[in-house]
Structure 1
């Protein structure tokens, strides 16, 4: 009799455990239930994310505000240095990254990317008073800054290897520090995406100038999330929100607002150029 009771209780426990497992929430259900999407980003990557008069602002703020409306949730921002953003995502500190990040083959193996929100082709920013740099190859043998652990740094180094004398690639925790060194004459240029440096040059034309043409391979910015079954439905929902924004013109309006131009981006990047 006692054995039968124990067996019945064990069976009930297994049934209950299976029922709980069957109803375990995935990432989208957790976000929806909490009413909050936690988004990690840095705040030194204007015009995507930056601090203006003490206020966090930029394209990413506007895009995720629209994503929040589509998902019916609030956006909670978690800010940290770029070098810690992707590790923070993997550690579960937030649900999504607003970086954004350049879509690369190596990153696609580890993360799932949303539809692109802008072009990310790398170009050069120089001092407006520096007449020695009129084309990208003029950086040969000179010190050029880029962000630490960024695709822009990798492309600067790769491009430098094609020149007679490779430039000295200087790594910075934030691009703002690189811009400050450029303005002070401590480096000859900054390698960053064309949208970023175009914005910086537009804000301070007396200090900075864009060197044409862009020297990097054509690439795109998108938002990375985790590449697992638990986050699949959340990423699907965010993808759908961005594609809806692209279709109804909201994304183009935000590009025009922050870049002064729009970008013809694909709905997805399946085979990145880098």
Structure 2
């Protein structure tokens, strides 16, 4: 009898513990819905994903999160800061997730949870229009090339530099907008950034910039980031579902065409990034 009572007690405790874990796992989603606000960290110097246009916050991220907000029934509160502070800000709990977006890499997958890809992220070179000294990626050997501080694009530029006969003179910038300004002024001869970004920049300033093709980086994709813990799992699940719904009904492709002039074939998830 005592054994039976003990078993029942343990079973009840296990059920209570399981219910507690389940409720705990839904805490962030529940708090977001209760507040009616999803806090999203980002930088605003990464056109066309996130940038300031005539004093207004604009870009693909703004459009995408407006739709995510509708799907969740909440408003979006943007928290902006330099990119090198965005991921530390997420880990410090300053916001619920990161827009960015960020290139999906092996190291980041170990630390964070990514949404389904929202665009291609393969890295290429932007040069000054009419610069005949750079006609292919290998021509940047020994030249001054800029990239964003603490970015996957910078890491790929560094790796590519090691394969060249003379190393690239790499210049790190807090924001890509600063690197574009230096490129236009002739202080550097190129910028390494993801193809969608530099294609947009070149399309906006055709007399100033050109894209060097082909891209030199490994095939990669951009995604949004959330913490890799049980508290955020339910929130990330519903955001993933919202993005996949937008992909299926064509809204994602329409937004890509609006901001990039083309749409991208992207997988539903990336489990094994190229780098």
TM-score normalised by structure 1 residue count: 0.92
- Correspondence 1:116 to 2:117: yes
Q: Deviations over 1:192-227 (max 9, x none)?
A: 000000000000000000000000000000001000
- Considering only aligned residues, what root-mean-square deviation do their CA atoms show, in Å? 1.4
**1:165 counterpart residue number:** 166
1:90-101 residue pairs with structure 2 within 5 A? 90-101=91-102
Structure 2 CA distance for aligned equivalents of residues 21 and 223 of structure 1: 28
**2:59 counterpart residue number:** 58
Structure 1 CA distance for aligned equivalents of residues 106 and 130 of structure 2: 38
Q: Secondary structure at the match of 1:93?
A: coil
Structure 2 CA distance for aligned equivalents of residues 169 and 234 of structure 1: 39
Q: Deviations over 1:238-259 (max 9, x none)?
A: 0000000000000000000000
Structure 2 CA distance for aligned equivalents of residues 166 and 55 of structure 1: 40
Off by >4 Å, runs of 4+ in structure 1: 20-25
Q: Secondary structure at the match of 1:225?
A: strand
Aligned residues: 257
Q: Secondary structure at the match of 2:100?
A: coil
Q: CA deviation at 1:129?
A: 2.6
Structure 1 CA distance for aligned equivalents of residues 190 and 212 of structure 2: 9
**2:13 counterpart residue number:** none
**2:31 counterpart residue number:** 30
Q: Deviations over 1:120-163 (max 9, x none)?
A: 00000000031111111110000000000000000001001111
**2:235 counterpart residue number:** 234
User: Which ranges of structure 2 fall in alignment gaps of 5 or more residues?
Assistant: 1-16
User: Which ranges of structure 1 fall in alignment gaps of 5 or more residues?
Assistant: 1-17
